[in-house]
A and B are shown apart, each in its own frame.
Chain A
């Protein structure tokens, strides 16, 4: 199924929840959606028989300046089509629903996004830091992040 057809299906079902569809070479076509609806949209994407996106390839966080972006790359084993879902949350209240219970692989991806960007995935069972130490401060992948001077008595900068 082509990306614009997927967009039509989603648009029909969610209406205002779907914000934008963009398809221009060389980029992958993507659908940007409302962050609060992300769980329902993903649920439809996974379970409706014509979409059947059973494979979450990648979940990435983004720093877009004023807001934070989350990008879902989905793939379907059955229909061998893929789609990119994008959403943004404001930096002050970066909360959005977790898709961990749809695709278990999102568990660690979401933890990583929380670790590096500080998004809060509500509904996630175990949202703790994953790569950095549990007592680390700040979200290092944000563009305004400053390296700490010291950690556990060890100097960090060169």
Chain B
């Protein structure tokens, strides 16, 4: 079944009726409330027009009305699957505006939390990708493991999904005594399930046939569309903000940047984007192991939290960090009061989704769903 090449469309010779299909906003596999206007010829997609904004929750307007700490709950709700990673660039941006130095222990806890959340996010991404392909069981195995990670986060922050844990200058709560051991147990479980899913789903022949050689995204197109994260790395571009524009304490850890290699198909296909996520989970496990070993036991996580938050007037900063989905940036403009003048979130999924019409043309309708799944979007971040 390796003959599934991109089907060449020659409409000059083959005139046939095209059907306009409306996929979404309520559709089981648009990952939320995305609407795709699809033009299909038989089963072949000839045009895709994404219509977004069905979850436009006025994030940027809310930011103007809130004080700096009050924005954090709203930042959580952007990419609600990886809320810790969302909070981080925002908190870093404000810390840079205020020129706050964060204590050592806080940095380590932040790294551990962000990487745990990265694992949780990739678990959902791979799980829903498998679900799009019709495999339901790996989905539940991943969600079972994700639960163990969420328990750790809940014990630290008090919430299961939207944590409000990273505060400007510190953390909302210190970690609990058995934290390190539980984190190590959780990543042990993650590795076990990953090995299982590799056999059950990723290297399954049907799955390979479904996902290899479709949705090919060349590296230059990816950069021109400003794709980032696994979407870009799946195309073979070795670029990770944690290494290439390093922030926090990531330069202390030893980890690789997995890139797509075109192992079973062409470089930059859906399978490559997916396998990058699987390998990244392993890299995150490595980072966590190192961070747990190096983390200082003592220290106050709240000591650097400022009492008054008034960044200098006119100061502005664009801070980006490696979200599980790619580059998440916050452009923060201060007007000298305790409320920001403007916060713009550069949503990773928003940018990554814009490449969908380009890479899904000429494939079959069933492939469109998989290509969408392989980009791993979250509508909260697309629409903001």
Contact = CB atoms under 8 A, between A and B. Distances in A.
B344 interface: yes
Interface stretch (A5-13, A34-42, A56-64, A90-98): A56-64
A73 B316 contact: no
**Interface size classification for chain A:** 20 to 34
A95 B245 CA distance: 34
A13 B221 CA distance: 29
Contact of B384 (A73, A129, A131, A143): A131
Contact of B226 (A25, A56, A62, A130): A56
A129 B56 CA distance: 12
Interface in A45-93: 54-58, 60-63, 71, 73, 77, 80, 84
Contact of B331 (A25, A73, A108): A73
Contacts of A80: 244-245
A103 B224 contact: yes
B338 interface: no
B318 A73 contact: yes
Given A73-B331, A77-B223, A131-B53, A57 B316 contact: no
Interface in A124-158: 129-133, 140-141, 143
B105 to A, nearest CB: 24
A73 B224 CA distance: 14
B53 A77 contact: no
Nearest to A63: B342
Contacts of A27: 314-317
Contacts of B58: 140
B52 A55 contact: no
Contacts of A143: 64
Interface in B50-70: 52-53, 56, 58, 60-61, 64
Contacts of A58: 318, 329, 331, 344, 346
A130 B35 CA distance: 12
Interface string A106-125: 01110010001000000000
A58 B328 CA distance: 10
A77 B227 CA distance: 12
Nearest to B93: A26
Contacts of B342: 60, 62-63
Nearest to B49: A126
Contacts of A4: none
B333 interface: yes
B244 A84 contact: no
Contact of B344 (A60, A104, A132): A60
Nearest to A61: B344
Contacts of B239: 77
A63 B327 CA distance: 25
B312 A26 contact: yes
Interface of B: 52-53, 56, 58, 60-61, 64, 96-99, 221, 223-226, 237, 239, 244-245, 311-312, 314-318, 320, 327, 329, 331, 333, 342, 344, 346, 350-351, 354, 383-384
Nearest 3 A-B pairs (CB), nearest first? Answer: A105-B226, A131-B53, A60-B344
15 contacts: A26-B98, A26-B311, A27-B317, A54-B224, A57-B346, A58-B331, A60-B331, A60-B342, A61-B344, A62-B342, A73-B346, A80-B245, A105-B225, A108-B351, A131-B56
